Chains A and B, each alone.
Chain A
């Protein structure tokens, strides 16, 4: 049994006369276009156009996709992998797609990692840089198809500061800041880059600092410093 034939526009004419029924494909397209850059779920299309059978709606949507009149995109939030529909000539909203940092609804860690490495390379080469310097460095390299904005570079540099890989400061106009206007936010590498992520506190030196059972540990209990397996492994590893 083959696929049911899509009713053509003429088939839906009322037999007794009156105005012709609108082309369902166009109705669906108009609905999708009306949602602008926010897009619409397939399920919501079916709900809105309850007069059309759901199976027919699926087929009309497939036709619109194959004709290139609409496109799908996976938002960064929402049911896993389920796409939203948007008109082809409309760019989906960045707050839904996640911007250049998301690919198919998932965080593009590879791309972010690559941008991080480029930023660190730029800072290593120039000692002290501003966000504009880093953007210029990346544009010059011309490594990426997507257009990266200054704000997006600032976001990446901000995350590197949070990672404690670089330090944020303001230009004084003197010394190493001579070429950067006074008051501009700048970035430079941390002195102790070998200890990235903090200089290593006292608690971090011993197993108790990371122990998931610290709250159950007591001097005389089943978990104690004398019986602790983490302590044994740590002391055995050291020697």
Chain B
């Protein structure tokens, strides 16, 4: 979700990492949406060459995605459509930069369990290279490993470690550099599916015909047209979900699942004489034309035979989300419930938010992780019910993680209300949150045991800050005042809190950089240089100052990591 403070945070991160010029281009894309290179040059008031270089850096670090958009030419309708390369900034990917230390810690932890601590550490170093450089080929990764540590630079070992990262889905193929977005003609109709028509198929046909009709309408606005997709969970509750041009471009750029983590292309690309073999070329033949187009646009040279790899943010975010769910359950219930949920998520291994596992699989996973477990099957069943699982079959349990995530979000919002407005406001907010209907002031005052005038003041404060929604209802009588009805402002609240979280993370980043600059002044003050004293040899007040600064930095970094946990939930 794009928010004002989200844009400011992204610009700050890019400024810190790549400089003001690149940040200027990034800000232009974030504020104005997808633009061509000429458009960026115009709005950012920069020469085209500089914009090109900045875009190369941003694409290299997965902060920008290009796509080729086909547009109807001006003037004579008989002319062929024009294809322009547009660029869009990816706010989500830019903000991921805050999470890089967590990604490394997760990879090290997971891989150490599989291959031992030493190899786990080495794998994490390979991942660090990808995080630092954005995108690399395997050759570049091998070269880097050799330069960093000659002792552990056996190419075969490095390759094995890299394959382990791919197997665990921590790295993936880069998306297509420039997916093609064709212009749809008015006559084009969606194809119908053959075979017996289930209710889902019928709904799909209806929706596709509606989509076709809407597309004909939206041809009038060629720059931004929408596609309608069916989001069917239950046939009776099918909802039509709008997909923007940018989202469609991102979806098209993503390689297919089989290709995304394919290491066959890597191993065959390294062998000699592979250029003569069709179908084993690492890059698909269709992609070569697109690569050449991007080459001409940005003068980038793509390595021909090797796929390019990048860190798979989705997998790390999934693991972090699972961890957040486990922590929420641990707080709400107990450690045993956390262990059961952890086992359920490991047994499932699915990336979807809905998980479905048998009791046997959960129990097996529990035994694997804890040899001295004393929980019985009945106990595990009770815990699964407490967590909120439902079972449509004997011993098969389904859980929607989005419910747990929603619970965690609500707890975060409630803690903000408690800290900012006090205990009484907290009670009022929880009362309104537990009721989906409107409540009037008198009823609220009675339920929470707060004086009515005080209740009114608190409700007004919460309403002013967009936590609540208020409706005025006339009571009918001339003498009677209008009744005020209150409800939690669900529609906007998550957006507001996300924006605030971005704001707070930005504040902490700015403050921690400020403290770092202060520390630099202490570390390099002139007496030290004159007397050639090292940091460790500092005494007295200087040592105290340095220690204090170091502790401040640690506190601020810890705060960022905790805020990022909350940010992950609200970005979901």
On A, residues with C-beta under 8 Å from B are 76-77, 101, 106-107, 112, 155-156, 158-159, 162-164, 172, 174-175, 191-192, 197-206, 208-210, 214, 217, 219, 224-226, 228, 231, 235, 238-239
In the complex, chain B residues whose CB is within 8 Å of the CB of A172: 382
CB pair B427–A191 under 8 Å, yes or no, is: no
Top-8 shortest CB links A-B: A201-B415, A201-B412, A225-B507, A204-B419, A202-B566, A225-B511, A202-B562, A225-B510
With contacts A203-B500, A219-B8, A226-B511 taken as known, whether A107 is within 8 angstroms of B548 at the C-beta atoms is: no
In the complex, chain B residues whose CB is within 8 Å of the CB of A205: 559, 562
Q: Which of B336-367 contact A (CB under 8 A)?
A: none
CB pair A231–B418 under 8 Å, yes or no, is: no
In the complex, chain A residues whose CB is within 8 Å of the CB of B508: 206, 208, 225
Minimum Cβ distance to chain B for residue A151 (Å): 12
In the complex, chain A residues whose CB is within 8 Å of the CB of B423: 163, 197
Contact sample, A vs B, 24 pairs, CB 8 Å cutoff: A76-B452, A159-B449, A199-B415, A200-B415, A201-B414, A201-B415, A201-B416, A202-B562, A202-B565, A203-B415, A203-B416, A203-B501, A204-B416, A205-B559, A210-B419, A210-B420, A219-B12, A224-B510, A225-B511, A225-B514, A226-B510, A226-B514, A228-B511, A239-B551
Query: Chain B 212-228 against A: per-residue CB contact (8 Å), 1 yes, 0 no?
Result: 00000000000000000
Tally B residues with Cβ within 8 Å of A.
47
Partner of B503, one of A107, A175, A208, A238: A208
Minimum Cβ distance to chain A for residue B479 (Å): 13
A110–B447 Cα gap in the complex (Å)? Answer: 17
CB closest chain-B residue, reference A195: B331
With contacts A76-B452, A106-B451, A107-B450 taken as known, whether A191 is within 8 angstroms of B418 at the C-beta atoms is: no
With contacts A162-B427, A162-B448, A226-B511 taken as known, whether A202 is within 8 angstroms of B503 at the C-beta atoms is: no
In the complex, chain A residues whose CB is within 8 Å of the CB of B555: 235, 238
CB closest chain-A residue, reference B426: A197
CB pair A107–B420 under 8 Å, yes or no, is: no
Extra inter-chain contacts (13) besides given A191-B331, A208-B504, CB under 8 Å: A159-B449, A163-B423, A197-B426, A199-B415, A201-B413, A202-B412, A203-B412, A203-B419, A203-B501, A206-B508, A210-B420, A231-B507, A231-B511
Query: Chain B 245-281 against A: per-residue CB contact (8 Å), 1 yes, 0 no?
Result: 0000000000000000000000000000000000000
In the complex, chain A residues whose CB is within 8 Å of the CB of B333: 191
CB closest chain-B residue, reference A108: B449
CB pair A192–B563 under 8 Å, yes or no, is: no
A197–B548 Cα gap in the complex (Å)? Answer: 32
In the complex, chain B residues whose CB is within 8 Å of the CB of A231: 507, 511
In the complex, chain A residues whose CB is within 8 Å of the CB of B483: none
A46–B343 Cα gap in the complex (Å)? Answer: 77
CB closest chain-A residue, reference B408: A201
CB closest chain-B residue, reference A238: B555
With contacts A208-B504, A217-B507, A226-B514 taken as known, whether A239 is within 8 angstroms of B552 at the C-beta atoms is: yes
B431 at interface, CB cutoff 8 A? yes
B186 at interface, CB cutoff 8 A? no
In the complex, chain B residues whose CB is within 8 Å of the CB of A164: 414, 426, 430
Query: Chain B 300-330 against A: per-residue CB contact (8 Å), 1 yes, 0 no?
Result: 0000000000000000000000000000000
In the complex, chain A residues whose CB is within 8 Å of the CB of B490: none
B411 at interface, CB cutoff 8 A? yes
B28 at interface, CB cutoff 8 A? no
In the complex, chain A residues whose CB is within 8 Å of the CB of B448: 159, 162
CB pair B503–A201 under 8 Å, yes or no, is: no
Minimum Cβ distance to chain A for residue B134 (Å): 26
A182–B423 Cα gap in the complex (Å)? Answer: 33
B287 at interface, CB cutoff 8 A? no
CB pair A197–B562 under 8 Å, yes or no, is: no
Minimum Cβ distance to chain B for residue A101 (Å): 7
Query: Chain B 521-552 against A: per-residue CB contact (8 Å), 1 yes, 0 no?
Result: 00000000000000000000000000010011
A79–B86 Cα gap in the complex (Å)? Answer: 67
B482 at interface, CB cutoff 8 A? no
